[in-house]
């Protein structure tokens, strides 16, 4: 592993495991969606901090991650857990092989989406990011994962601008899920909302950055969320959209 990759993974571990109270915050965030004995998919599992949270809540987890360096840590941290299945792949609209654009120093923004790289190029928040390597990785679909493992109660999707492609490979509603939104590439999030609305009567909420708490007390309609996402611009923080069938 290159020095840049070692530093990148160390940065990720510090971000996701270095805050002592973060685990408690995450459990509180996910507890309404994840119950003991349920099944969760972690799409873009990275170094596995959400896997840890889902397991602490008593769920079985399928962790899907294409990055070689991250897979090593997933195996180290969760590989011996019989209730965690690790899938070395990306997720998209169709099975096959695709090019992963790797950012060694900032592996949190490694992506399959060239559009995401282009869209974030003008965002000052991404000015230090370099996608300096490529890997050919296998791609599976959410439908295929469901066929193999069952219908998940919750799906976390964090794939750096590839979230709409992930949802394009899902042909049935799932009870609850989340997907990342990035203001510089907000068209992806808009497409995600449209896709989910075509699958079922979802209601929506969102969390900003790593705050680990939902912003709204009342869940939004698709139209309300679309209006919020549409007005985002450079400088606004990224976050995650949460969707449930019928709301909370």
All structural domains of the chain: 17-95+140-245 (3.40.50.150)
Of 52, 69, 58, nearest to 10 (Cα)? 69
Mean pLDDT of 183-195: 97
The residues, ordered by sequence, that sit 6+ positions from 63 with a Cβ below 8 Å of its Cβ are 42, 45, 48, 51, 74, 78, 84, 85, 86, 87
Burial class (CB in 10 A: 0-12, 13-18, 19+), 82: exposed
Mapped to the 3 state alphabet, what secondary structure does 139-194 carry?
Answer: EECHHHHHHHHCCCCEEEECCCCCHHHHHHCCCCCCCEEEEEECHHHHHHHHHHHH
Mean pLDDT of 73-82: 96
The structure's pTM equals 0.94
Q: 51 near 61, Cβ under 8 Å?
A: yes
Tens digit of each residue's pLDDT (9 = 90 or more) over 207-246 = 999 999 999 999 999 999 999 999 999 889 999 999 999 7
Residue 6 has pLDDT above 70, yes or no: no
pLDDT of residue 12: 67
Tens digit of each residue's pLDDT (9 = 90 or more) over 103-160 = 988 889 999 999 999 999 888 888 888 999 999 999 999 999 999 999 999 999 999 9
Q: For residues 232 and 181, give the distance between their C-alpha atoms in angstroms, rounded to a whole number.
A: 10
Phi and psi at residue 81, to the nearest 5°: -85, 115
pLDDT of residue 97: 98
Average pLDDT, rounded, for the chain: 94
Q: For residues 205 and 214, give the distance between their C-alpha atoms in angstroms, rounded to a whole number.
A: 6
Q: 44 near 100, Cβ under 8 Å?
A: no
pLDDT of residue 15: 74
pLDDT of residue 17: 82
Structure confidence at residue 248 as a pLDDT band (50, 70, 90): low
Structure confidence at residue 5 as a pLDDT band (50, 70, 90): low
């Amino acid at each position: 592993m290159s020095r840049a990759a070692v530093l990148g993974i160390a940065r990720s571990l510090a971000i996701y495991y270095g805050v002592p109270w973060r685990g408690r915050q995450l459990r509180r965030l996910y507890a309404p969606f994840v119950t003991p004995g349920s099944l969760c998919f972690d799409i873009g599992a990275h170094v596995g901090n959400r896997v840890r949270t889902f397991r602490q809540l008593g769920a079985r987890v399928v962790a899907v991650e294409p990055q070689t360096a991250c897979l090593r840590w997933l195996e180290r941290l969760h590989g011996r857990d019989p209730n965690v299945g690790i899938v070395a792949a990306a997720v998209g609209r169709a099975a096959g092989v695709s090019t992963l654009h790797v950012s060694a120093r900032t592996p949190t923004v490694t992506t399959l989406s060239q559009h995401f790289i282009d869209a974030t190029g003008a965002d000052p928040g991404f000015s230090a990011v370099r996608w300096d390597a490529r890997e050919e990785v296998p791609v599976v679909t959410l439908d295929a994962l469901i066929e193999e493992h069952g219908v998940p109660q919750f799906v976390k999707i964090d794939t750096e601008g590839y979230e709409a492609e992930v949802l394009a490979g899902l042909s049935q509603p799932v009870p609850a899920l989340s997907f990342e939104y990035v203001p510089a590439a907000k068209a992806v999030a808009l497409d995600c909302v449209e896709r989910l609305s075509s699958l079922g009567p979802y209601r929506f909420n969102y969390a900003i950055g790593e705050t680990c708490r939902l912003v709204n007390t009342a869940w939004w309609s698709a139209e309300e969320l679309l209006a919020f996402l549409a007005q985002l611009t450079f400088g606004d923080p990224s976050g995650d959209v949460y969707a449930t069938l019928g709301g909370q």
